[in-house]
Chain A
Amino acid sequence: MNPILVYCKRDLVRWFRGKWGFIAAMAMPAAWLIFVGLALPIRFTEHYIDFVTPGILAMTVLSASLAGGGLLILDRMLGFFNKFLALPPPRESILFGKILVITIRGVIQSTIILIFAFLLGARLYSLTQLIGTYIILFIFGALLSAAATTIAIYLDDHDQYAAANAMISMPLFFTSSAMMPYDVMPAWLEPIARVNPLSFAIDGIRILQTGEIPVTQISVLSLLCIGVVTLAIHVFRKVKI
């Protein structure tokens, strides 16, 4: 079996057997969907849940990826990382294993959120929209999990990682196009939102909803992803403990 898949399988099995991690990871996006999607007094659209669902999906992948970086922190703190580094497979297979498992986790969670959104009254996606949405979420997940795993190499412990996590996730979410379209944003927010990688994923899914193919968004996310993964491979290859 390919070492990447071995590493991935290990983390997936541990996740499923852990139960609470799985449930806890669902709580926040579900709460957002219900309390923001259904309760917020919004004027610019009749059907806010349709608008906000792509934002919540991207947010699910974001929080799953950032939480996923913690896997590496734990591996380092408990001594697994040292053991893995002393094994024959190339060291970047540890990285790819993490990217794969974190992205799979993110996609599984988004699927549940998506089903939840449909149950709450969001308009159903066509097959093309669904495939497009998954492609975007997968690229976005790979981008973020590579970034989170690389950050986790540099930070000392769980506390610091949790702090970095909080520092990244909230600002990233609120400065994106998740909550409102660009034309109702305050003028100072719009330029920030337009370059926020989260917005590219969200806008991509929204463009899919209109029936078009978001070529720009997918290309930008793919390029970013390739860039970050290349950097991460470099970091993993030369990592010394």
Chain B
Amino acid sequence: MATTSRHNQSVHEYPLVTHSLTKRFGDLLAVDNLTLSVGTEIFGLVGPNGSGKTTTVLMLTTLLDPDSGDATICGYDIRKNPRRVRESISYVPQDMAVDVRLSGRENVIMFAELYGVKNPVERSNEVLKILDLLDRADERAKVYSGGMRRRLELAQALVHNPKILFLDEPTVGLDVAARKKIWEHIRTLRNDGMTVFVTTHYMDEADRYCDRVAIIDHGRIQAVDTPARLKGIISQDIISVSISGKFTGIDVPGVSFAHQEEDTLIFHCENGAAALPLVKDALSDAGNQVLSMSVRQPSLDDVFLHLVGPGEDKSPFKSSTFRNMMGKR
């Protein structure tokens, strides 16, 4: 009985728990000792392309076996009980796969039947209504816009009331209005008690909509926290300065140099407005001409660059590894 009650408690607290989850493709360490606990929240896994986001989702959705480590979804082990895991989740991959020769309604009813939903027709109607697709439900998905197709996929995923929803790059390729709409739907789901695990490489979206964010790079989690606290890691303000001439370094108390992007220098400091003239003078003294300066609040982009550096991946593109990571073989 003791095990049962502990089991229930952990399910209650964290629907998704991973422990040292690791996956290799040949000599590439795609996911490296990933340990996370995700509650009823919008949890964003953010990082650049090829950082291991999709591989993580594929393991959590039972499509890929981890090499080591484990994960439980709603209390079920992803390796020992994959069927139970699949009953508890929904997974929307990034490909936008809807059957264009079927109507919106037929697309959703098909998934309702595959999930074994009791009354597929009524339930499909409900989710189509929730996602604002009801008035065009009987048109072929062929005429749907990108945003509508994504909403149709969400409808398919929601038709069996999953406890955890996995979304891989849900807004990629959509226009601004469509993105906003998708995120608003995701928020509503979270408010209704669903755990949403979402990957994205759009830092601004993660910042705005995720309750907590994990920053991943080269398969390793660099930081996990709320967007506000993550931004607190670096500083109150960011100063960016564009200069001419070679930057050799300046020494201003309370201001630290972060990195250089071509002719633009990025500094972190606590009080940007006060530091601005000091930085300008120091740069002039060092022989640099200041072309423009600005102060802004840090964004998740800055946090990301702070944590992993601006280095672009220079290793050669290996298509077999890439396909593995994209789950396409």
Contacts and interface: CB of A to CB of B under 8 A. Distances in A.
Interface residues of A, number: 27
A82 B153 CA distance: 13
A240 B65 contact: yes
A88 B327 contact: no
Interface string A82-109: 1111111110000000000000000000
Contacts of A14: 99, 101-102
A156 B327 contact: no
A156 B322 CA distance: 13
Contacts of A87: 86, 111, 114-115
Interface in B114-140: 114-116, 120
By secondary structure, the A interface counts as helix
A14 B106 CA distance: 11
A158 interface: no
B83 interface: yes
B93 A79 contact: yes
A9 B102 CA distance: 11
Contacts of B203: none
A1 B58 CA distance: 28
B22 interface: no
A9 B99 CA distance: 12
A77 B329 CA distance: 9
Interface string B68-99: 00000000000000010011011111111101
B113 interface: yes
A240 B63 contact: yes
A79 B97 contact: yes
A76 interface: yes
B110 interface: yes
A6 B106 contact: no
Contacts of B106: 13
Contact of A17 (B86, B101, B323, B327): B101
Interface in A79-138: 79-80, 82-90
A41 interface: no
A156 to B, nearest CB: 7
Given A10-B110, A78-B95, A241-B329, A86 B61 contact: yes
B114 A89 contact: yes
A241 B113 contact: no
A214 interface: no
A18 interface: yes
B329 A1 contact: no
B164 to A, nearest CB: 12
B64 interface: yes
A4 to B, nearest CB: 10
Contacts of B87: 88
A84 B58 CA distance: 13
Given A82-B63, A87-B86, A241-B58, A156 B101 contact: no
B97 A88 contact: no
Given A10-B110, A14-B102, 20 more contacts: A3-B113, A13-B102, A14-B101, A77-B328, A78-B97, A79-B94, A79-B95, A79-B96, A82-B63, A82-B95, A82-B327, A83-B91, A83-B93, A86-B63, A87-B111, A87-B114, A88-B83, A88-B114, A88-B115, A156-B329
Q: Which 10 A-B pairs have the closest CB atoms?
A: A79-B95, A79-B97, A86-B91, A17-B101, A88-B86, A241-B327, A88-B87, A6-B113, A86-B61, A14-B101
